[in-house]
Every structure is written in structure tokens, then in C-alpha cells.
Structure 1
Amino acid sequence: MKKIVFLIALAVACEFRIDDSEAKETLETIDIQFGDLTVGQRNMHYAYTNLERDTLIVFIHGSPGSWSAFIDFFKADSLLDRFDMISVDRPGFGESGFGEAEASMEMQAYQINEVLNQFPRKRKILIGHSLGGPVVARMAMDYPNEYLGMILVAPSIDPEMEKDEWYRGVIDTQVGAFFTPKEFEVSNDEILPLKKELHDMLPLWEQIKIPTIVIQGTEDSLVPKENAAFAQQMLPDSLLEVHLLEDVNHFIPWSHPEEIIKAIRTVANGPSYYP
């Protein structure tokens, strides 16, 4: 019950997406650009910088969310001085077919990878927060030679940690959907099958060879801290570091952005893992 009350309060308090013109005003002097790519029947929307840097930082948001979850990182001089950045609206959110969920981790990975193929950098670093975590993990599994490294932030990657929550069945009804904000309806549609998706990914973890850092709060009530231990188990050779942040909740990109920036620079400074 505490969790659903928290989620309702979050829906009231948070604006999960902003339009591109508002983003430009927010970023003021930053030359942010926007793009759309049709992948199959899906429009994929994204925001990016084009400073001709050698390394592209790829931000993938959680559930619900949009590319603008990472808008403050586009202001960070410590990133702009060295990296280009891209943040993608995951399928069903923002302007990537808003309201139409994509439950398949494999398909989400494919759609986002198609977007990234437009950016001819050999050095690309994946950052996934929350449900963005298994998405970027699937990208590293399916496209092992295309990414330099990966940072998992409070990632929902362990299938055993995905519990059956009674209210999700309520939302997944006509009446429940009517009273649920659209962002949360889409979120529900991709979280309901997530446990099976994560089980299907279990044999694929050995395909991840790129250096990885995990950042996890010890007081995360949405994604249990045991997910960090799962990463240690599944990535014995490629896991560089696990940062357990004491007394920190799920919202690390907003409360502790410096931890993510530090991890980006650590991965970027490491040796190239390209064959």
C-alpha cells in the first residue's frame, strides 16, 4: 500500500515530459538538437548535442519518464567539455509513440540501437536508470561490439526481485486504466511482463564484455539494492565497480548526479574494449 500511495503522489508532483521548445528555454545557451527516426511502425524521438566529440554518452530513462529525465546532465560543463550526449524517449513515452507500450526488451534495444546508428562514433557509453537498466543491458547483449561501456543506475535487472503487485492488475483493466495517468498506464504495460523478460535474458548476460559500473541506493523502495548483487553475479569479469550509496533512494540521477558523472569519466578513461 505504501508503494502505490508513493506512486500516486509521484504522478501528481512530477512532470514526466516537456516539449522541445520548453527544453530549449531551460537549457538556454546549450545547443541542444532534436531528432526523430521511424523504426518499423514506431517513431523514436531523441535530444542530443553535436559538438563533434569522440565519445557519445547515451541516457536511457526509467518507467515512467522521457528523455528530459536527464536534462540537467546536458548543462554539466564537466560532460560538455569532453562528450556529446543523447537522451532517447523510450517506446511509449515522450514523443516515441506516447501511450503505446513496447514490452519486449529485445525490441526496445533494437529501436534505440537504430537511433544510435545515426551517430558515427565508435566510443558510446550506455547509462540506464531503473527500467532503462535492463534496456541498456539488452543493448550490450545484442550489440556487444558497438559500445565502450555501461553504467547501470538503480537497475531493475534481477527477475527474482520483480514481485507481483496487486494494483498492477487493477490498472490493467478498462476501469483502472480510465483512472490512471497515461504515463503510468504505459509503465504498467511494460512492467507486467518484465519478470519474464528478465528471465529470458538470463542466458545472455555472459555476452556482455564491456566494462560496467553499478550505482545503487541502499534505501531504494522501488528497485531493491539486491539488484546490485545480481550484477556482481552475472558480470564477474566485466564489472568494474559497484557503488552502494548509503541512505539514498531510487532517484539517483536527480539527487546524486555527480556519482553518474564520475562513473562516466571512469569508463571513458579506461582501455578500449573494441576488437
Structure 2
Amino acid sequence: MKKLVIILTLFATCEFRMSDEDAREELNESVSIQFGDLEVGERNIHYAFSGNKRDFMIVFLHGSPGSWNAFIDFFKIDSLVKEFDVLAVDRPGFGNSGYGVSEPSLEKQAFLINEVLNQFPNKKKILIGHSLGGPIAARMAMDYPKAYHGMILVAPSIDPDMEEDQWYRSVIDTKFGAFFTPKEFEVSNSEILLLKDELELMEPLWYKIKIPTIVIHGSDDSLVPKENAAFAKRVLPDSMVNINMLEGVNHFIPWTHPQEILKAINQLTDGL
């Protein structure tokens, strides 16, 4: 019930999509930002990018629901955009990436986003995935092991045993429920309904991840249990994973504790 209250609050208070024009206005020319779209088969992936062909690219993957502008404040951080190229995507079904048409397959999402990143010549790419963006980052590291050099999982939904059946999701997945549900949440619901199955498909593949990984989680996360961090510790070698458990912190780390993500970026890039 607590999760449902949080979700209903998000229904009432959150606006997830932002036009490119509004993003430019918010950034107020403080950073040079570009927008792009890549057609891959029948899907379009929209992204925001700031950079100048530096060695490192930092790639942000948002949760569910969400869009690239969940990370817009990171584009405002001078120390980040002056040292690294920064890219954030609208995942399939969100923002301007085929809005309203979901893609529950984590493997397909990983493929589509990897195709976008193939356009960029940076020597080293660091993946950052928040919430449901976490397993997508992990899937990318599994399927394209030579393409990525570090990974930061922020409150990631990666343990299939932690995915609970929630009665209201089956209601949203009906014509009646969809009629009363904002489109972002309808798309989110469709991918979360199959997330447990998708994570079970990934379970035998964690051994493929050979890049240093930092997991940041809050001890008071009521949306994604902190036990997901322990799962990462079990499936990744000790030499590859570092867990940063933030005491008293909830799920919304990118907005409440961005400095922890910046510290993790510097930790990874300093070692590469």
C-alpha cells in the first residue's frame, strides 16, 4: 500500500517529459547541449548530449517512468561537463523515444541504446542506471562487454526475488485501468509487469560483466529494496563491485544525493 501511495503522489505531481526547447531554456545557454534521434528498425531513440569527443563519456539511463531530463541537473555541473562528454537517453516508450509504445525486453532496450552509443567515438564509456535503468545498464555490460568500461547502479532493480506481485498493476493493464492512467505510467506498468521474468533471464549472464561497478543504494528505499545491493555483491566478483549504502536515504538519490554519483564517477574514471 505504501508503494501505491507513492505512485499516486507521482501521478499528481510529476511531469516527466520535457521538450528540447524547454530544456535549452532551463539550461539557459550555460551548457552547449545537442539533441538527436536514431532510427533503429521501427524504433526511435531520442537523446541529449553535451561534449567535445573527450576520452570519457558518461551515459545516464533513467528509471520507470522517466525521461532523459531526470538527469538535467547533471548537465549544469561545470566540473562534469567540462571534463567528460555527457549523454542521457529517453528509453523506449518514454520522452521522445516512441512515446507510449513500451519495450519490456531488457535485451532489446540494451540493443537500441547501444546502437545510439555506437555513434560516439569516445574511448571509454561509463554507464549510470537509476532504478529500472540499472538492469538495462547491466544488460548492456553483459551483451556488449568490450563497449563499456565502468558502471554505476543507483538503487537498481536487479534481483528477481525482490520483484513482488502488486495487485494494482493488473488493473492498470486493462482497458479500464489504462483509461485512467497517465501514459507514462501505463508504459512503466507494462515493463514492470514483466521485469521479474526479464531479470530471471539475466541471472545466468552476470558472469559476463568484467568492468568495475559501484552500487549506490539507500537504506530507506521503499520502492526498490536495499537487498538489491546484496544481490550485486553475490553475482559480481568482489574485485569488480563496491557497495555504497546510504543510511536513511530513499529511492531518489539522483536528486537528493547527486554528489554520491559524482564521487562514484570520479572513483571509476580515476582508475581507468
Please give the TM-score of this superposition, normalised by the length of structure 2: 0.98
Equivalent residues in 2 for 1:35-114, closer than 5 Å: 35-114=36-115
In structure 2, what is the equivalent of residue 199 of structure 1? 200
Q: Deviations over 1:35-93 (max 9, x none)?
A: 00001100100000122321100000000000000000001112122101000000000
**Which shifted more, 48-57 or 157-166?**
48-57
In structure 2, what is the equivalent of residue 24 of structure 1? 24
User: 2: CA distance between counterparts of 1:183 and 1:241?
Assistant: 33
Equivalent residues in 2 for 1:156-171, closer than 5 Å: 156-171=157-172
User: 1: CA distance between counterparts of 2:253 and 2:52?
Assistant: 27
Counterpart amino acid of residue 169 in structure 1: S
In structure 2, what is the equivalent of residue 4 of structure 1? 4
User: 2: CA distance between counterparts of 1:50 and 1:247?
Assistant: 35
Counterpart amino acid of residue 152 in structure 1: L
Paired residues of 1:133 and 1:153 also in contact (CA < 8 A): yes
In structure 1, what is the equivalent of residue 251 of structure 2? 250
User: 2: CA distance between counterparts of 1:195 and 1:70?
Assistant: 26
Equivalent residues in 2 for 1:130-149, closer than 5 Å: 130-149=131-150
Q: Deviations over 1:225-261 (max 9, x none)?
A: 0000000001124534111001100000000000001
C-alpha spacing 1:238/1:42, structure 2 compared with 1 (3 Å) = farther
* Structure 2: 5+ residue stretches without partners: none
Counterpart amino acid of residue 3 in structure 1: K
SS of the residue corresponding to residue 113 of structure 1 reads: helix
In structure 2, what is the equivalent of residue 186 of structure 1? 187
User: 2: CA distance between counterparts of 1:170 and 1:47?
Assistant: 34
- 4+ aligned runs moved over 6 Å, structure 1: none
In structure 1, what is the equivalent of residue 268 of structure 2? 267
User: 2: CA distance between counterparts of 1:156 and 1:227?
Assistant: 6
Please give the TM-score of this superposition, normalised by the length of structure 1: 0.97
* Structure 1: 5+ residue stretches without partners: none
SS of the residue corresponding to residue 120 of structure 1 reads: coil
Paired residues of 2:60 and 2:129 also in contact (CA < 8 A): yes
SS of the residue corresponding to residue 91 of structure 2 reads: coil
In structure 1, what is the equivalent of residue 228 of structure 2? 227
User: 2: CA distance between counterparts of 1:253 and 1:238?
Assistant: 25
Paired residues of 1:212 and 1:238 also in contact (CA < 8 A): no
**Which shifted more, 4-13 or 91-100?**
4-13
SS of the residue corresponding to residue 59 of structure 1 reads: strand
Counterpart amino acid of residue 2 in structure 1: K
User: 2: CA distance between counterparts of 1:154 and 1:66?
Assistant: 17
In structure 2, what is the equivalent of residue 151 of structure 1? 152
Instruction: Please state how far the C-alpha of 1:33 moved relative to its aligned partner.
Output: 0.4
Instruction: Please state how far the C-alpha of 1:19 moved relative to its aligned partner.
Output: 0.4
Q: Deviations over 1:171-192 (max 9, x none)?
A: 0000000001110000000000
C-alpha spacing 1:177/1:203, structure 2 compared with 1 (3 Å) = same
Counterpart amino acid of residue 108 in structure 1: Q
User: 2: CA distance between counterparts of 1:202 and 1:126?
Assistant: 19
1:121 pairs with 2:99: no
Paired residues of 1:127 and 1:133 also in contact (CA < 8 A): yes
Using the aligned pairs only, state the percent identity.
67
User: 2: CA distance between counterparts of 1:118 and 1:143?
Assistant: 15
SS of the residue corresponding to residue 128 of structure 1 reads: strand
User: 1: CA distance between counterparts of 2:238 and 2:253?
Assistant: 25
Give the number of equivalent residue pairs.
Answer: 271
* Root mean square deviation of aligned Cα: 0.8
User: 2: CA distance between counterparts of 1:233 and 1:2?
Assistant: 28
Paired residues of 1:208 and 1:238 also in contact (CA < 8 A): no
